[in-house]
Amino acid sequence: MAVKYLIGIDLGTTLAKCVIYDESGNAAAQSQREMEITYPEAGQAEQDALSFYTITCELIKKCVSEAGIDVRNIAAIGIDSQMGGIMSVNRNFDPVTYYDTPLDSRSAEENRYMHDNFGDLIIEKSGSLSTYGNKILYWKKRTEWRDIHKFIQPSAFVAGKLAGLSGDEAYIDESFICFSGLCDLENSVWSDELCSKLEVDLKKLPKIVKSTEIIGELTSSASA
């Protein structure tokens, strides 16, 4: 029987990394690339949303080539990422906004509003103060809001593109929701109470899935 391989992707703030492992946990190939952060103005820090996908594809192709393996023997791809910011997609799963990193302070006003008025409730429900729920409130005031179908994280965006998901199928890993300031962490659901008080449209929040859930299969176009 042919050896099966696993691909691990880590989309960090400054580096994207890819490693191919065999079934025994031995690394067959690995590669990394710097992630660019742009600073349009003082207090602003953003990352191009689509670059998460294009860089991931480049790293996978490089590792597969270096490992010299048959792609038909790749059993699974797992992806994690930074989670302190937020990005969004439309109904076609195309990015609407840049990835709004935790370094970006454009949502400082919304951050103060959330924590001055609902800080105790947010900690009680979510277990942590928000790092990206305030960014969702920020986007409510922008023209992009009408085109935003779901707010998601980079790992879910890349996995969704690889699997050909639609906007309706957008998801978030349950381990990422604690920084939203919008969840009921104990029950791994979005908090109706917090979303109601903060006037956040639940329809714009993705479904919550477990870290082990298989969200789809690699499409032929993505594997080309």
Q: Which domains does the chain have, with CATH numbers?
A: 5-211 (3.30.420.40)
Q: What is the pLDDT of residue 100?
A: 95
Q: What is the pLDDT of residue 179?
A: 97
Which segments of the chain are extended strands (E)? 5-11, 15-22, 27-34, 46-47, 74-81, 86-89, 95-100, 150-152, 171-173, 183-184, 189-190, 207-209
Q: What is the pTM of this model?
A: 0.96
Averaged pLDDT, groups of 10, the chain, 224 residues long: 93 97 97 97 98 98 97 96 97 98 96 98 96 98 97 98 98 98 98 98 98 96 84
Residue 179, both tokens: 């920084």
Which residues, other chains included, contact 166 with Cβ-Cβ below 8 Å and sequence gap of 6+? 91, 92, 93
Phi, psi angle pair for 54, to nearest 5°: -65, -40
